[in-house]
Chain A
Amino acid sequence: MKAYLSLFWLELRTSLALAMQYRADFVTDGFVEVFWTLTALVPLFVVFRARPVVAGWTFGEALMVTGFFTLLQGVLEGAINPSMTLVVEQIRKGTFDFVLLKPKDAQFLVTTARVLPWRAVNALTAAALFVYGFVVLHRAPAVSDLGVTALLLFASVGILYSLWMLAVSLAFYVVRVDNLTVLFGAVFDAARWPASVFRGFLHVLFTFVIPLAVMTTFPADALLGRASTAEVAGAAVAAICALAASRAVWTRAIAHYTSAGG
């Protein structure tokens, strides 16, 4: 365990050093990211300028969902996407052999291979959105709710990560999955809105198939102090099942791997 922790620290430092090589990019990327987040808020303002309540959510409450969305987007694009793109490339070129040869767990190595530190900007933007939301609501979050919120956030990240591991495992069979980044990004965008906005088919899709509702709406509920026991239990079970499933699929996929040209 200790070996893995120090390894993780090492990988993080390498990524940071890599990113600092291109300092100008660092600043412009951060700037563009904040700009995107701000313009993405415009529809929210427009909706709530017309209505005080949309699908049971007020402006302040919906800001929480957007906050969690921004946070998870940062995790996705800063920590998950870069590593995944790297693996897919390694599988295609055959250099993935070197990863498997290393004496540590391949999934761990793959997951921590690359981090884009400037995406941490998203965490700051998300924090700002939470503060703004609570100012609009004229109250502060209850301290007791923070624990549940953290738990649900962990579950969200777990589910997000599992979905990605499944996608990468697919790369062992079909090779070209880098486009999945674009595809998933487009679907994930729907998580910006409270789940109750979607009805019928989309509601079922976003709750059970691609659990966007679990990822952003549930933590927002928790932060607002209205998460039901069913929500918390459901999210925890979903996260554990997703992690276990992705681990199983990954192990099978690795066994299937015969290197490039094999």
Chain B
Amino acid sequence: MLRVGFSEALAYRAETLVWIAATTMPLVMLALWHTVAREAPIAGFGPSQMVGYFLSMFIVRQLTGSWAVWLINMEVRDGTLAQRMLRPVHPLLAYALSAVAELPVRSFLAVPLATVALFVFAGAELVRAPGMWALWFLSIVGALLITLFANLAIGCLALFVESSTKMMDVWLALYFVFSGYLFPVALFPPAVRRAIDWLPFRYQLGLPVEIMTGRHDFASALAMLGHQWLMVLVMLAIVALVWRGGVKRFAAYGG
């Protein structure tokens, strides 16, 4: 199944280029924050820290993206979902696997380029300890899972209302602001930061970036990782709940 998803993604190479271009936002934000940080460091971020942060952000976004919500919306409306349900593989697992299989294709071009740029321009900003990179890997997996589960949950909402892509738009707006995508969460006032600890968004992008650019020591990174995986479980429970309720309604539609 991973192979099918992989070749599907290969078939739409042009779309992949568009996806990369559509995620260049961190580079625009880098230009802005670099200008700001050059006048004086801000919340511990100097110009070179900004370069490290936003290039890492670009890479992490490429590695953890998912478009499942649009696919599910489409399939609920045209009934393809009913066919999927007849197959021996759970539909949600199928969506998840195809999303994961797309990732290598999506990141094939941009990630190596950005990685080279990262090492050339901001290699000094990256953590050295192998232990931290192990945590980073776990945080990437966690981030991918949260993004995927959010996509699946909102996608399954399409079983209740006609189209849930509007809800995805609202989710995305919050995600951009609170995940550290537009600026490091350290720049928020402390009260907002405490609230962000209990929202899923930071664990989708900010945490891996913060770990790889050495914003956390080992202990605090481990604690954040615990938070993240707790969030993974919560999201999984939400997906299961929405799916179970939604399938009943879907059966009622066509039954």
Contact = CB atoms under 8 A, between A and B. Distances in A.
7 A-B pairs with least C-beta separation: A39-B173, A179-B18, A186-B22, A190-B28, A42-B177, A43-B182, A39-B177
A162 B23 CA distance: 25
B208 to A, nearest CB: 21
Interface residues of B, number: 29
Interface in B12-37: 14-15, 18, 21-25, 28-29, 31-32, 35-36
Contacts of B31: 190, 197-199, 202
A186 B32 contact: no
Given A43-B29, A43-B182, A43-B183, A36 B43 contact: no
Contacts of B15: 179
A32 B42 contact: no
27 contacts: A32-B166, A32-B169, A35-B173, A36-B169, A36-B173, A39-B174, A42-B182, A43-B29, A50-B43, A51-B36, A51-B39, A54-B39, A55-B35, A179-B15, A179-B18, A182-B18, A182-B21, A183-B21, A186-B22, A187-B21, A189-B28, A193-B28, A193-B32, A197-B32, A197-B35, A199-B35, A202-B31
B195 interface: no
B37 to A, nearest CB: 10
Contacts of B251: none
The B interface is mostly helix, strand or loop, or mixed, namely helix
B24 A186 contact: yes
A72 to B, nearest CB: 17
A204 interface: no
Interface string A167-196: 000000000100100110111011001000
